[in-house]
Structure 1
Amino acid sequence: MSNPVFDLLISARWMITVEQDGEILEDHALAINNGTIVALLTPSESAAATAKQHVRLDNHVLMPGLINLHGHSAMTLLRGLADDKALMDWLSNHIWPAEGRHVRDEFVFDGALIAMAEMIRGGTTTINDMYFYHGAMARAGLAAGMRTFVGASILEFPTNYANNADEYISRALDERREFLGEELITFTLAPHAPYTVADDTFRKVVMLAEEQDMLIHCHIHESAGEISDSMRDHHQRPLARLKALGLLSPRLIAAHMVHLSDDEIELAARHGISVAHNPSSNMKLASGIARIPQLLAGGVNVGIGTDGAASNNKLDMLAETRMAALLAKVGAMDPTAVPAATAIRMATLNGAQALGIADKVGSIKVGKQADLIAIDLATVETAPVFDPISHVVYAAGREQVSHVWVKGQALMAQRQLKTLDEAQLIASGRSWRERILAGDQNA
């Protein structure tokens, strides 16, 4: 019997599977058919294998694609518009007014495409987003070929998108129907935060999440001010309020979760919620240092996000993974807190678990879909290589990501985008800069 001919064979110097912390396979290969990993081949087996396409990565790490567990992709068009501000000043006096002047369907589509190009070039294969004009975000995800979770923002106050909470929800569900059946597109319910969403709306979100089998994505415990305001307005901390409203469950992805007591960490673990840790955004907005070692030790699933480019200002998951490891060490005053292998798992498999797709992606395993990235370590910045896992977290930069695949489709090869036109996106960014500046001057 002749050997099978695979659609795609990827052989690599090192392979980080993330199936087990610290597992590195040397000189192995992945065989892929119809976007799914069908075989993990030893050096001798890969030498005898045949494929329609064979990608040889002689100096590279091959690993699961990075999962950005919290972002606002369209806000790329507001990158650098209002820096070095406190959170509520930044939102109330700069970001929300700018969004009111400019955010429409076209803004979201163009901004999301720029964000996705940046994320792909940095090794991100999945984005868990939260914004408005959800159809535009979904279309951008399909155009880029990224696995896209479209967070349907819900607020009590009016924006260009809707006038009240009921209208946000109604429009989001209408837009969701258009993309049912698209494997790479998943809609989530995204009540913005406890300080912008009322009790009745949270109850409705919980009910709809159960009825429609949807995840919930919400900013929670991001700043000390949020907690003090909750004590003033509701006589309890936000997480306690959300528990009483039924929001705490494995469906919930809680973004930030910076200010937590020991009891709240135990509460998060007991209810199976996932945390999206955003280290750079938390530092830039001076929100604080999240208690990541304690969350992990307590059994809470923690992934990593970039937040939006307006508050980071990079959508660089490799940088966030490094920052997550380093910030945990200094926050705990413990150099063993969040080792490199743990940080990689947070950026991959933990994110997949939070999104309910750990059976499909997040690690290298036969039967999972081929969401993969390659990182070239044959550079002076990463020479010599003693430990590829350490290098991915502490030494490599996003410019060393050479290849990106989602479901076996190449989104980037040899640093060249395959689904998006980089020059066109740069021109789009320049055009939006002029429009935003002109709008601000006329405000």
Structure 2
Amino acid sequence: MNAPESLLVLNARLITVAGDPAAEDDETALGYHEQGWMLVRDGVIAAIGDGEPPASAREGAEVLDVAGAFVAPGFLSTHSHLFTSGSRGLGVAETLYGWCDSMLGLIRHASPSDIYWTTLHGSLDFLDHGVTTAYDFTDPRIPWEPMIDGVRQESDAMRPVEYQLRQIDAKADAGLRFVNSTPLDDAVGTAEEVLDRFATVVDHLGTLDPRLALGGAISGSVQWSNRPDGAEIEVEAMRRFGVINQAHFLETREAVEHQRSKFALYQRAGALGPGMIFGHFIQTTPEIIEATAAGGAGMSWQPSSNGRLASGTAKVPQMLELGMTVGMGLDDQACTDIADPWQNMRLGMFLVRAETGRPLDMMPATVLRLHTLGGAELLGVADRVGSLEVGKLADFLVVDPTDPDIGPLWHPIRNYVLSCGPRHLKAVYVGGRLASSNGRSTSPLATEAKAKVREVLVPLAEAHGWPV
């Protein structure tokens, strides 16, 4: 569905996430308007206000009267693996490495066409759940090999470059905004050969609509890599191509001391600065957190998957107190199982509170900001997405707290986080275009994606003796 040239949103409980973050009350902190309006022109927010809009705002505009529903920014997932969308429910008795064996074993023999459809399925699923921007880790060209005592088993198998490129195309075809994160697959080739392969991906990203392809990144792999110069190669890729880096790091309870020993590799390589993100970052020490914060690196928090895989609870309050930039992510759809950002926010709150015993350590306004503007700041895209502000891309949700009814809104921001969810999500707009209505995608590819995921994955499992 094409976006109208001009769209006027009326009668909205408007959460801009553009207020004063230092304010003591949630409504001021997140820029709440009890009766707000928003004007969108050519996919960009042109004006925002309270009460009745000026007559000029109505001229030539299509009107969307939301009748008191919430209108809020689309969520960001700062850590996602969209290709896993067809692999949910696997490895439920496993922690990280065993779960990876189960889930990634299913798609080990996937083709570039197969992985396109699973990624498209995951991208549309994100949009249907209100996630309009994702940092997405593409599945590597080197298939998964088991970890034993924290060490990745060697492999020189290499899928064609189209395997990565088709995952990028799927996100663009879905209409999802994304930062594309590519594994360097450093187990094969010299440092220059590794960087040359990455250049092909960067070139491909440059051919896409920059309003969708928001940037490129590398998938830091020092935790998984057996290569002693892995961190140096990642830092050189960041410098040479102007990309950010997110590393899965200190995630699991297995081989903790071995994992921690690798932090020094990033330190010596000079990686600890803006643009360096540690995903999960659970099995830390106070010294590691302090060094990371001092260097200016950030952290992506995945509470739903961390709970599902029994990985632990990250020390997010301490990280925030030290000034680290933190965003939230939904991780694999195969280990959150439902791509629900409300569930993710609530689990984050509840896990932190359960661990510290202090409710004020994680409040609703905090997790909402981390899943929107905080995530955009972490990814370096806050000039375009993450909040509803004039000049930004018009990515927003319509969330009706009366259908089904949650009762009085005693504290609007807190009710939005604690009491709402996908069942209240009536519409998802990306650039002022309706992308999903009542949980159903408007994409012409949605029906085919649903069929293709079953068509490609079930035969793969049967052909290679994989239980489903």
| TM-score of the pair, normalised by structure 2 | 0.86
Letter in 2 for 1:39: A
Could you say which residue in structure 2 is the equivalent of 1:352?
Answer: 376
Counterpart of 2:90?
A: 81
Query: 8 Å contact 1:155–1:191 — kept in the other structure?
Result: no
- Measure the CA separation in 2 of the matches of 1:164 and 1:314: 40
Aligned to 1:313: 337
Residue 218 in structure 1 maps to residue 218 in structure 2: no
Secondary structure of residue in 1 paired with 2:464: helix
User: Which residue is equivalent to 1:426?
Assistant: 450
Change (3 A) 1:94 1:426: same
* Residue identity opposite 2:6 in structure 1: D
Whether 1:97 aligns to 2:105 is: yes
Which residues in structure 2 correspond to 1:254-293 (within 5 Å)? 254-293=278-317
Deviation at 1:414, TM superposition (A): 4.6
Question: Is residue 88–residue 334 contact of structure 2 (8 Å, CA) maintained in 1?
Answer: yes
2:219 to 177, 185, 190: 190
Say yes or no: does 1:174 pair with 2:173: no
CA distance in 1, matches of 2:169, 2:270: 32
Query: Number of residue pairs matched?
Result: 428
- Whether 2:309 is the aligned partner of 1:301: answer no
1:85 is paired with a residue whose SS is coil
Deviations 1:402-439 (A, max 9, x none): 22222222212454422244332222232134213212
Structure 1 runs of 4+ aligned residues shifted over 4 Å read 163-169
**Of 17, 36, 39, which residue of structure 2 is paired with 1:31?**
39
Scaled by the length of structure 1, what TM-score is found?
0.90
The answer (yes or no) to whether the contact 1:273–1:300 under 8 Å persists in 2 is yes
Instruction: Give 1:119's aligned amino acid.
Output: F
Partner of 1:362: helix, strand, or coil?
coil
Are the equivalent residues in 2 in contact too, given 1:77–1:432 (CA < 8 A)? no
8 A contact 1:381–1:396 mirrored in 2: no
1:323 aligns with 2:322: no
Judge conservation of contact 1:10–1:57 (CA < 8 Å) in 2: yes
1:153 corresponds in structure 2 to 183
1:342 Cα deviation from its structure 2 partner: 0.7
Q: Can you list the C-alpha shifts for 1:370-429, whole angstroms capped at 9, x where unaligned?
A: 121121111245222222211221111113212222222221245442224433222223
1:344-370 superposed Cα distances (whole Å, 9 cap, x missing partner) = 100001110011111111111112221
- Which of 369, 373, 379 aligns to 2:397? It is 373
2:74 match: 65
**How far is 1:113 from its partner?**
1.2
- How far does the alpha carbon of each residue in 1:264-305 deviate from its partner, in whole angstroms, 9 at most, with x for none? 222121122121101111111111111111111111111111
Q: How far has the Cα of 1:178 moved from its partner? A: 2.2
Q: Distance in 1 between matches of 2:200 and 2:106?
A: 26
- After superposition, where does 1:113-152 map in structure 2 within 5 Å? 113-132=120-139, 133-152=163-182
Separation of aligned partners in 1, 2:61 and 2:254? 57
Q: 1:383 aligned to 2:407?
A: yes
User: Residues of 1 paired with 2:190 and 2:106: CA distance?
Assistant: 19
Task: Kindly provide the CA deviation profile for residues 33-87 of structure 1, in whole angstroms up to 9, marking residues without a partner as x.
Answer: 1221111122122577314311111131111110001011001122223322122
* Deviation of 1:217 (Å): 1.4
Structure 1 residue identity aligned to 2:178: T
Conserved? CA contact 2:82–2:118, under 8 Å: yes
Q: Is the 8 A contact 1:78 1:310 kept in 2?
A: yes
Q: Indicate the SS of the match to 1:29.
A: strand
The alpha-carbon deviation at position 170 of structure 1 amounts to 3.1
CA distance in 2, matches of 1:72, 1:170: 24
1:239 maps to 2:270: no
1:31 aligns to what SS in structure 2? strand
Aligned to 1:437: 461
User: Residue 195 of structure 2 contacts residue 237 of structure 2 at CA under 8 Å; is this kept in 1?
Assistant: no
Q: Secondary structure at the match of 1:410?
A: strand
Tell me the amino acid that sits aligned with residue 383 of structure 1: G
Structure 1 residue ranges without an equivalent (≥5): 231-235
Q: Taking structure 1 as reference, are residues 442 and 353 closer, same or farther at Cα in structure 2, changes over 3 Å only?
A: closer
Are the aligned partners of 1:154 and 1:165 in contact in 2 as well (CA < 8 Å)?
A: no
Q: CA deviation at 1:314?
A: 2.1
RMSD: 2.3
Q: Say whether 1:393 aligns with 2:400.
A: no
Distance 1:76 1:319 in 2: 17
Structure 2 counterpart of 1:35, one-letter code? G
Alpha carbons 2:7, 2:41 under 8 Å: kept = yes
The verdict on how the C-alpha distance between 1:166 and 1:320 changes in structure 2, with shifts beyond 3 A counting, is farther
Separation of aligned partners in 2, 1:272 and 1:26:
36
Residue of structure 2 aligned with 1:202, choices 231, 234, 244? 231
Paired position in structure 2 for 1:227: 256
* SS of corresponding position for 1:223: coil
Question: What is the identity, as a one-letter code, of the residue corresponding to 1:204?
Answer: I
Residue identity matched to 1:131: T
Moved more, 408-417 or 398-407: 408-417
Taking a change above 3 Å as real, the CA distance of residues 417 and 364 of structure 1, as seen in their structure-2 partners, is same
Contact 2:129 2:439 (8 Å CA) reproduced:
no
Which amino acid letter does the alignment assign opposite residue 141 of structure 1? Answer: K
Distance 1:398 1:211 in 2: 41
**What is the CA deviation profile of residues 85-143 of structure 1, one whole-angstrom value per residue up to 9, with x for unaligned ones?**
1222222x4234333222x2112211111111211111100010112333212211221
Whole-angstrom CA distance in 2 between matches of 1:117 and 1:394: 25
| Letter of the structure 1 residue corresponding to residue 397 of structure 2 | I
The 1:399–1:137 alpha-carbon spacing in structure 2 relative to 1, beyond 3 Å, is farther
> Comparing 64-73 with 29-38, which one deviates more in the overlay?
29-38
Question: Conserved in 2, the CA contact under 8 Å of 1:15 and 1:24?
Answer: yes
Aligned to 2:430: 406
CA positional deviation for 1:157: 4.1
